[in-house]
């Protein structure tokens, strides 16, 4: 879209883009680009136009253009956004400021280092740990629609990390496990086929886990998929508290977590 | 601002230098929602202060005169006037968040959030009404 | 979709509704969705067997880049993810097996080969002032050439034009110069390498389509509208040569579903 059938319209718009080129050894700066304005263009289209027609050195991540892959998250006028869903028409004629996602280390231009986030998902074990292992010949692990409904919302996460850039707790403590990883942990803890809640508890309920969260709630506000990580964290707190009380009532029989399935 | 603690990434060679951004001290002024959050957090000081005041009152329950002196002192009245709006703000923001903490399932559907928050408001109202009734009717005894 | 109702749409087609609302500004619950054709998926790919192995020992492929040939002549929507999961796992297992069976690696040779490739890339793309072409102009022209020549309906005439255009674009590709010479997250370098692959794939597609004088699945020839099992119940295999690709054919294994007529609805 960026290079084909560009309208002959003369309207233009300015983008003020964060630049950081580590090879040059220069401190970060902002560069202003003027792009054609089209009311069906999103910020990502404008960036692609800059890359194709003005400055091939501008670097950023993107892939699907339709809010599914979670690659193109950036700060647009200070708000974490998927740039593929942020329409120019919502900002026109004001200049748009584009920066890399807040709080993450910047590798180059608009590209952040997400290694730490990927590591956290590994620590939380955001995958299905079957409650009972059975051979393939025995068929599927069946689930009722009601069992699916309990966690389905949390499966919508596309790992775009917008929630981290909206989270002042993560801003102050980069080791905080953070909204998406906890929500994904909760997604599996609430899955009737999963038996990994105990394995996840050590990380989820650690000092860097759910108790770091002070319920600012902005993670859920910026989530493009309505995952509601803030809700997931509070639910996990309730579960953890219940388990803690249960550990007093049933000494020796302490079950670390569980999640009400 | 930059540091050398770079790690290899899947994208290619080890980044020479990463740029680390510091969180600005006034971050909570950058967004109305952050400011509302900070106010909510600060109101807990007043809620806590009011709780202390209640404890002080409770300590004087066996001495009606001391109880009334404390209750009628300008400082106590001032504190209550300040604490009341903050306590209300704290309660309202908290009650509005309850649907996230308390999720009740009916088959495949969640109980709508307004019902859960509504139940809390109803409870609040009921308790308040009960207290007012108790104060009004009980007040004649004293 | 209006007859389906909000509840069912939310349950069965939530992504469709979300896309319509966010990108087209309409709600399919009570409005009609505008529909038009779009390029969606590359249905051919690197020829692999059922264990994801290619004809090159040690090279495994899975997903959109591969062609295990489980999709017939026209892939059904949503099958790509399932295919990716199944054959991605198989590719991983195959690669592990291959590594176990071939424990010794000539590291010196590999390092030398990598150095040679780095030098080639440097020589071809990082040469200030020598190039005249940009990635965007070639990519845009490639889009147009394939859309016009090898789109939904193809003909001998349109395909021949497309073959010529792709050949010209491959020539122009030799003069691409990059603005970005950095070795830190150089997305422009990735794009130019991908563009080279796009051109190779385009060449394989246009030449295979030109030689397939029939219509089958997604390949619709306006000059040969009928399916011809006699001659073309075959896989097309394109081999790179110094000139145009050489097209060969391999047999098709039919399992449960024999080729049928391309009809929709109640016909």
Residue C7: closest C-alpha in chain B: B109
Residue B16 binned pLDDT confidence (cut-offs 50, 70, 90): low
Q: Which residues in chain A (24-63) have CB-CB distances under 8 A to chain C?
A: 51-53, 55-57, 59-61
Residue B10: closest C-alpha in chain C: C185
In a domain, C217, yes or no: yes
Q: Which of C44, C30, C58, C32 is nearest to C250 (CA)?
A: C44
B76/B81 Cα distance (integer angstroms): 9
Does B12 lie at the interface with C, CB-CB under 8 angstroms?
yes
In a domain, A65, yes or no: yes
Give the pLDDT mean for C235-240. 96
CB of A138 closer than 8 Å to CB of A201 = no
Give the pLDDT mean for B84-99. 86
pLDDT of res. C118: 93
Q: Which of C81, B112, B103, B115 is nearest to A190 (CA)?
A: B103
Q: How much is the mean pLDDT over chain B? A: 81
The last residue of a domain, from among A90, A112, A134: A112
Would the pLDDT of B1 be above 60?
no
CB contact under 8 A, B15 and C186: no
pLDDT of res. B2: 39
A208/A235 same-domain check: yes
CATH number at residue A123: 1.10.1060.10
Which two three-digit tokens encode residue C29? 């619950």
A64/A94 same-domain check: yes
For tokens 């295979």, the residue is C208
A138/A206 same-domain check: yes
pLDDT of res. A250: 74
A chain contacts of residue B105, beta-carbon cutoff 8 Å:
146, 149-150
Q: Which residues, given as ranges, of chain A have pLDDT below 70?
A: 1-9, 251-261
pLDDT of res. C14: 85
For tokens 């054919």, the residue is C249
Torsion angle, alpha carbons of A117, A122, A127, A130, to 10: -160
CATH number at residue B46: 1.20.1300.10
Residue B89 binned pLDDT confidence (cut-offs 50, 70, 90): confident
Residue by residue, DSSP assigns B77-142 as HHHHHHHHHHHHHHHHHHHHHHHHH---EETTEEPPHHHHHHHHHHHHHHHHHHHHHHHHHHHTT-
Would the pLDDT of B78 be above 90?
no
Closest-CA distance, A252 to chain C, in angstroms, reads 41
pLDDT greater at residue B103 or residue C232? C232
CATH number at residue A57: 3.10.20.30
Q: Which chains pack against B, by 3+ Cβ pairs within 8 A?
A: A, C
A35/A119 same-domain check: no
C chain contacts of residue A55, beta-carbon cutoff 8 Å:
179
Query: Angle at CA A51, nearest 5°, toward A50 and A57?
Result: 120
In a domain, B70, yes or no: yes
Contact partners, residue C112, CB within 8 Å, separation at least 6: none
C10/C1 Cα distance (integer angstroms): 12
Among A109-118, C18-27, C168-177, C187-196, which is the least confidently predicted range? C18-27
A170/A211 same-domain check: yes
List the domain range (segments joined by +) for residue B52. Answer: 16-139
The last residue of a domain, from among A62, A81, A112: A112
Residue B9 binned pLDDT confidence (cut-offs 50, 70, 90): very low
Among A53-67, B3-17, B58-72, C204-218, which is the least confidently predicted range? B3-17
* Total number of domains constituting chain A: 2
pLDDT of res. C264: 67
How many residues are there in chain A? 261
CB of A154 closer than 8 Å to CB of A128 = no
Which two three-digit tokens encode residue C9? 């749409």
Q: Which of B2, B18, B108 shows the shortest C-beta gap to A146? A: B108
Which two three-digit tokens encode residue B64? 């009606």
Q: What is the pLDDT of residues C82-136, one digit of tens each?
A: 999 999 999 999 999 999 999 888 999 999 999 999 999 998 898 877 778 999 9
Q: Which of C32, C34, C23 is nearest to C2 (CA)?
A: C32
CB of B32 closer than 8 Å to CB of B78 = no
Q: How much is the mean pLDDT over chain C? A: 92
Q: Which of A22, A53, A57 shows the shortest C-beta gap to C136? A: A53
List phi, psi (to 5°) of B18.
Answer: -100, 150
In a domain, C52, yes or no: no
pLDDT of res. B135: 85
Question: In a 3-state reduction of DSSP, which class is residue B17?
Answer: coil
* Total number of domains constituting chain C: 1
A103/A128 same-domain check: no
pLDDT of res. B7: 44
In a domain, A7, yes or no: no
Query: Angle at CA C237, nearest 5°, toward C231 and C240?
Result: 135
Helix (H) or strand (E) holding A246: helix A229-249
CB of C60 closer than 8 Å to CB of C54 = yes
B chain contacts of residue A221, beta-carbon cutoff 8 Å:
33
A223/A134 same-domain check: yes
Helix A229-249 vs helix A179-189: crossing angle, to nearest 10: 60
CATH number at residue C113: 1.20.58.100
A96/C24 Cα distance (integer angstroms): 22
pLDDT of res. B69: 83
In a domain, B7, yes or no: no
List the domain range (segments joined by +) for residue A214. Answer: 115-249
A87/A149 same-domain check: no
Would the pLDDT of C267 be above 90?
no
A25/A125 same-domain check: no
Residue B139 binned pLDDT confidence (cut-offs 50, 70, 90): low
C chain contacts of residue A53, beta-carbon cutoff 8 Å:
136
A85/A132 same-domain check: no
Residue B96: closest C-alpha in chain A: A217
pLDDT of res. C265: 63
ipTM above 0.90, yes or no: no
pLDDT of res. C266: 55
The last residue of a domain, from among A112, A128, A143: A112
In a domain, A260, yes or no: no
A74/A127 same-domain check: no
C chain contacts of residue B15, beta-carbon cutoff 8 Å:
184-185
Closest-CA distance, B107 to chain C, in angstroms, reads 15
List the domain range (segments joined by +) for residue C197. Answer: 105-267
Q: Which chains pack against C, by 3+ Cβ pairs within 8 A?
A: A, B
CB contact under 8 A, C185 and B16: no
Residue B110 binned pLDDT confidence (cut-offs 50, 70, 90): confident
pLDDT of res. B20: 92
Among A87-91, C97-101, C146-150, C255-259, which is the least confidently predicted range? C255-259
Contact partners, residue A203, CB within 8 Å, separation at least 6: A123, A124, A125, A177, A185, A209
pLDDT of res. B5: 41
A214/B45 Cα distance (integer angstroms): 15
pLDDT of res. B44: 84
In a domain, B26, yes or no: yes
* Total number of domains constituting chain B: 1
Residue C78 binned pLDDT confidence (cut-offs 50, 70, 90): confident
A177/C220 Cα distance (integer angstroms): 52
A120/A197 same-domain check: yes
CB pairs < 8 Å spanning B and C: 11
In a domain, A157, yes or no: yes
pLDDT of res. B77: 87
3-state secondary structure chain C: CCCCCHHHHHHHCHHHHHHHHHHHCCCCCCCCCCCCCCCCCCCCCEECCCCCECCCCCCECCHHHEECCCCCCCCCCCHHHHHHHHHHHHHHHHHHHHHHHCCCCCHHHHHHHHHHHHHHHHHHHCCCCCCCECHHHHHHHHHHHHHHHCCCEECHHHHHHHHHHHHHHHHHHCCECCCCCCCCCCHHHHHHHHHHHHHHHHHHHHHHHHHCCCCECCEEECCCCCCCHHHHCEEEEEECCCCCCEEEEEECCCCCCCCCCCCCCCC
């Amino acid at each position: 879209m960026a290079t084909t059938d560009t309208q002959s319209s003369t309207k233009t718009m300015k983008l003020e883009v964060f630049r950081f080129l580590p090879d040059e050894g220069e401190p970060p700066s902002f560069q202003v680009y003027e792009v054609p304005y089209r009311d069906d263009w999103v910020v990502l289209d404008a960036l692609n136009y800059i890359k194709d027609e003005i400055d091939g050195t501008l670097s950023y991540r993107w892939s699907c253009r339709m809010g599914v892959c979670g690659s193109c998250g950036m700060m647009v006028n200070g708000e974490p956004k998927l740039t593929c869903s942020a329409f120019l028409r919502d900002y026109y004629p004001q200049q748009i400021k584009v920066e890399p996602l807040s709080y993450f280390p910047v590798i180059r231009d608009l590209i952040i280092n997400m290694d730490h986030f990927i590591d956290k998902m590994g620590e939380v074990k955001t995958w299905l740990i079957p409650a009972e292992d059975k051979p393939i010949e025995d068929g599927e692990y069946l689930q009722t629609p009601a069992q699916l409904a309990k966690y389905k919302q949390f499966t919508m996460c596309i790992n775009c990390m917008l929630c981290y850039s909206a989270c002042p707790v993560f801003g102050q403590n980069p080791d905080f496990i953070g909204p998406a990883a906890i929500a994904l942990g909760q997604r599996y803890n609430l899955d009737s086929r999963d038996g990994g809640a105990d394995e996840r508890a050590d990380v989820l309920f650690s000092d860097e886990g759910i108790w770091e969260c002070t319920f600012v709630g902005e993670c859920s506000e910026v989530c493009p998929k309505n995952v509601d990580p803030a809700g997931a964290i509070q639910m996990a707190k309730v579960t953890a508290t219940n388990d803690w009380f249960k550990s007093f009532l049933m000494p020796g029989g302490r079950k670390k977590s569980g999640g009400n399935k | 601002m930059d540091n050398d603690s770079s790690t290899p990434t899947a994208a290619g060679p080890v980044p020479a230098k990463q740029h680390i951004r510091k969180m600005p001290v006034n971050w909570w002024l950058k967004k109305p929602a952050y400011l509302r959050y900070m106010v909510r957090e600060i109101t807990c000081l007043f809620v806590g202060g009011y709780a202390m005041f209640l404890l002080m009152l409770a300590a004087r329950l066996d001495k009606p005169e001391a109880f009334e002196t404390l209750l009628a002192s300008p400082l106590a009245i001032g504190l209550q006037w300040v604490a009341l709006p903050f306590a209300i703000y704290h309660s309202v923001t908290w009650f509005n968040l309850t649907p996230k903490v308390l999720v009740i399932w009916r088959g495949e559907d969640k109980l709508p959030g307004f019902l859960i928050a509504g139940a809390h408001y109803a409870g609040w109202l009921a308790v308040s009404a009960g207290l007012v009734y108790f104060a009004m009717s009980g007040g004649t005894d004293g | 979709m209006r007859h389906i109702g909000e509840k069912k749409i939310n349950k069965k087609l939530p992504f469709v509704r979300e896309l319509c609302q966010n990108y087209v500004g309409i709600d399919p619950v009570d409005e009609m969705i505008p529909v038009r054709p779009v390029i969606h998926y590359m249905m051919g790919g690197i020829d692999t067997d059922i264990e994801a192995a290619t004809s090159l020992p040690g090279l495994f492929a899975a997903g959109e880049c591969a062609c295990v040939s489980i999709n017939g002549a026209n892939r059904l929507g949503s099958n790509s993810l399932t295919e990716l999961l199944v054959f991605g796992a198989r590719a991983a297992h195959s690669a592990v097996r291959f590594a176990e069976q071939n424990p010794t690696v000539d590291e010196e040779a590999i390092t030398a080969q990598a150095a040679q490739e780095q030098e080639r890339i440097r020589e071809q793309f990082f040469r200030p002032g020598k190039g005249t072409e940009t990635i965007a102009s070639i990519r845009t022209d490639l889009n147009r050439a394939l859309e016009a020549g090898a789109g939904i309906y193809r003909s001998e005439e349109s395909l021949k034009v497309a073959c010529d255009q792709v050949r010209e674009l491959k020539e122009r590709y030799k003069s691409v110069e990059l603005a970005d010479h950095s070795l830190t997250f150089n997305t422009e370098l990735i794009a130019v390498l991908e563009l080279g692959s796009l051109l190779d794939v385009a060449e394989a597609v246009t030449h295979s389509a030109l030689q397939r004088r029939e219509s089958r699945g997604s390949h619709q020839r306006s000059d040969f509208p009928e399916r011809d099992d006699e001659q073309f119940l075959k896989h097309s295999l394109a081999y790179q040569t110094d000139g145009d690709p050489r097209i060969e054919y391999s047999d098709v294994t039919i399992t449960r579903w024999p080729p049928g007529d391309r009809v929709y609805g109640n016909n």
